[in-house]
Structure 1
Amino acid sequence: MATLSTPQDELREGEEDVIEHISHEHPLTSFHVNIPNWAMCKGCWLRISGRVYGCRCCGFLLHESCARAPRVILQHPFHPQHSLTIVFDCGKGFHCQACDTEKHNYLGYYCHECQVHLDMPCASAITFPSHPFHDREHNEDGSTMIQHFSHRHPMKSLQLSSVGADIRCKVCELHISGEVYCCPECIFFLHKLCADELPQVIAHYLHPEHPLTYQGECQYRGGTFYCNCCSREYTDMPSFRCESCYFDLDPKCALQTHSAIQEGVATTIQHFIHDHPLTLYYFKPTNYYKPMKNLVFHCEACRQPMTTDGLAYCCLVCDKNNGDRFLLHQSCAHLPSGLEHPFHPQHQLKLLPRAPSAEHFYCSACHERSQGFTFYCAECEFHLDLVCASLKPTLEHHRHEHNLTYFQRSPYKYPSCNFCRRSSRIDVYCCLPCNFNLHHKCLPLPPVIEHECHPYHPLVLFSKFVLGDPNDQYCDFCEEIRNPDHGVYRCDQCWYTTHIDCVISMSEVEGNISTQFEDRRLTKLNEEIASLEETIKVMETNLEALTENLDALKVRKKRDF
C-alpha cells in the first residue's frame, strides 16, 4: 500500500495546491507519496512516487507531470499539423498511433480533425531532436527529413526518451529510444543506428543460391509472410527476400545471423550427439507455428526451456522431415570435453550426452533430476548438470576460507545456515566441498564496530590475520583457538583480535541491534559469584545461630555465677 501524507504534514511544508482534472470527479490535491510497494499513476499507468496529485478519499493518484500536462499541445512532433487536446478514456479505449496498441483508462491526446490518439507515455516521450542535421531537408517544425530505402515515405527525425513509451524499431524489434526516424502515417519507427547500418542486399548462408534484398513492404497477397529462419508469421512487416525462390527472412533473424558470421561464428557444425549437421539459427520462442503456439522447445544439452530470443543450432533435416526441432543453445553446442570445476576439485569431469547407467541422473550440486548432458566423474559417481557447471564461486566472505557460490534454491534438502543455524531454501551462498552455507540476510558485516569487550578502540574487519605460528592463533575474547584463514575483527592499535561470531550477534545481522552480548567468561564468573554468595548466606545463617548460642551462654553465666 502507498503511504499518503496527512494534510497536517502538507501544511507544515506549505499551502496545498488543489486542481480540478478531467481524469477524476473530485478535486486533486498535491502531496508526497512514500512507496514501499507498487503504486500506479492512473494517467500513464507507470510506477508513481514522490510528488503527486491525488484524491485521498478514492486513492486516485497522478504523477505531477501527468496532472500538470498541458491541456492543449499546439504542435506535437508526431502530429504537428494540428493541435492535440488532452482526453481521458473511461473504459471504451483508444488506439495509440505511436505504439500501435489499444489503451484503456489512460490519459492521452487527441486530434479532432484527424482522429489521431497518443497515450500519455508516447506523447511525453516523443520530442524534437536537440541537434538536427543541417545538411538534410528540414520541415517547418525543424525536424530533419530523410528518404530511406527501408520505407516508401520520407521519414522525420525525432527524439524518444527511454521511459514509458512501448515503441519498437521495425528492423531490430527492440524498444526504441534516442535518435529515431519516424513515418507517422504508417506507424514506422527506425533507430538512427539501424538506418545507418542496414544493408540493402545481403548474401546469406541459409539461402546461398541468390542474394536477399530488403523489402520495406510485404510482397505477398494479404501482407503476411513466414520467416524461413524462425518460422514466425509476420504481417505488414519488412523482410529480406529472394524474389525468385519466395524465400524470406525477417530483419532481426537476417541481421543477427549475418552479424554472427562476420564475427566468426560457424554456420554449420557436426555435433557428437546428433546424426545430422546442425545449422546456426536465430531462435524465437513464441508463435513458431499457429497449431503449436503453446509448444515449449528445450535445448537438448541443458534441457532448459528456450524462452528467450538468441542464437542456437538447429537440425533442419529433422525439422523438415517430421517437424521435430533438435535445438542446442550456441553456448551448449561448444562445451569442452573435460572440465575442472571447484564443486569437485578432486578430479576432472568428463562431458557425457547422458548418464552412463540410466536415462536420467540427479545433479550432485543442486540434486535436481536431469536428462541432459552431464559433466561426470566415474570414480566418485559425481554428476554436474550444465546449469550448475556454469556456476562459479564468486563471493569472498570473511566467514569462510573459500569463495561462495550463489544458489537461488538451496542445493541441500535440509539446509542450515552456518551462522544463524536456521533453515532456508532460497537465496543462499554455498561452498559445496565444505558443506558451508550462508543465508543472503546473514552476509552483511559492518567494516568497523565498537564493542564493550574492547572499549578502548574500534574493531576493524579483516579477511584474515596471523600473528606468529598459524597453528597457535587464539581469539582474545573467548580465548579459544581460531582458524587463521577465517575473517576476524581486530584493533589496529592493540592487535586485540576476535572471532567474528564473538562480537557480531545474530540479531545484529538481521537488523535488530542488540546491546546484550554473550560473554562466556562473564557467565562463568557470575556462576562462581552466585556460588560464593550462597555459601556466604549459609555461613551468615550459621553465624547468627552461633551468636544466639553465645548470647544465651553469657546470660546463663551471669545468672548462675
Structure 2
Amino acid sequence: MIIDEDDESDDVDRVQHFSHHHPLILFEMRTEYFFESPSCKICGKLCVDSACCCKCQFHLCLECSLLPTIQSGAFEKIQHFLHDYPLILCGKEVVEVPCSVCGTPCLGPTYGCSRCNLFLPKSCAELPQKIRNISHLSHSLTLASQNSKEGGRVISKRSRKARCRLCHKDCCDFAFCCNKCNLQLDVECALLKPTIEYPGHNHRLTVGEKIHDKLECNFRKTFCKDSPAFRCLECNFSLHLLCGPLPCTVKHKCHIDTLTLKDQYVEDDDDDDDFYCDVCERRRDPRLCVYYCAEGCPMIAEVKCVISEVMASLKGKRGDVALRIVGRYISSKMISKELAAEVI
C-alpha cells in the first residue's frame, strides 16, 4: 500500500491535529508495510490503526488522533492544547490538588495527566488558547506553559516564576503571555477588562482583588500591597482602593436598606470618642470613609466589611453604577458592557 499524501480525493480520510503541522491520513496499520508497528507520539502505545504523516514519520494511534479538543463537555478523555498527553476525567467530585493553570484547588469535574502531575478543572480546561485584552491591544495573549517541555514532560523550570503584570503574583505553570513584550498575566487578571473611568487619566482602570507586592499608589505615594487596587497596565498606574472611585451606593446582606458612601461619619451622641462598625462590631477609624444607612437606621459599615459588594459593583456584576472619589468630590462611572476579554 502506497499512501499519496497529495491525493485530495474523497477516498482518503484526513484529520488536522493540533500536534502536527501537516494533515494526518487515517489508515489501517498492517505489518507488511512496516518492519515494526510505530508508537503513538502522544500516548506511546503501539499503533494498530493510525493517523500518519509519512513525510515526517509522525504517527498517532486512532484513539489519540480523534480525541475531542478543548470543548470538554461530558467526554471522559480530551486532548488539550496545553499538554501533549490526553487528559483523563477524574470521577471524584473534589480532587485535592491545585489547578495547574490558576493555582486554586480543583473542585468538581477535573481533567488530569497522572504521569505529568497536571490537573485542570473543567472551567480551566475550557479556557481559550488566545485572547485579546484591551489593556494590551498591540498583540494577542496566548495561554502557554512557563516551563520548557519535551515530549509532554517538563525538562526545565524557570528559576523564578513569571510575575503577573497586573497583580504582581507569581504565575502558576501556565499564564497568558505576550512573548514580544515579555508580558505575563495570570488567568484571573487576563480575563479582566478595564471598566473604571478615572478623571484625568487617558485609559480605563482595572480593579484587582489583591496586589501581592509593593506597588506605589500614584495618589498617596505609599505602597499598595495585600489589598485591592486600581491598575492601568499601559501606564503602570496604581491607586489604593480608597484613593480611587467607589460605588456611591451598595446593597449588602448586613442591612435591609441601601447603604450610601460617606467620606466620614461621626455619631452625634458618641461621647467616648470610640467609633464602631455595626457589621463587625469593632472599632473603626473615623477619618476613613464608610457606608451608612441614609434612611435613619443606626447602620455604619466599614468598606472592608462590605467589600464583596464593592468589588462586585466595580467588576460590573451589578451593571453600570455611579462612582465617586472620596474627599475630592469627583464623580466617575463603571462601564459594564463588553466586560470579558475577547476570544480569538
TM-score under structure 1 normalisation? Answer: 0.30
If asked which structure has higher relative contact order (CA below 8 Å, sep 6+), I would say: 2
Who wins on radius of gyration, i.e. which is larger? 1
TM-score normalised by L of structure 2: 0.46
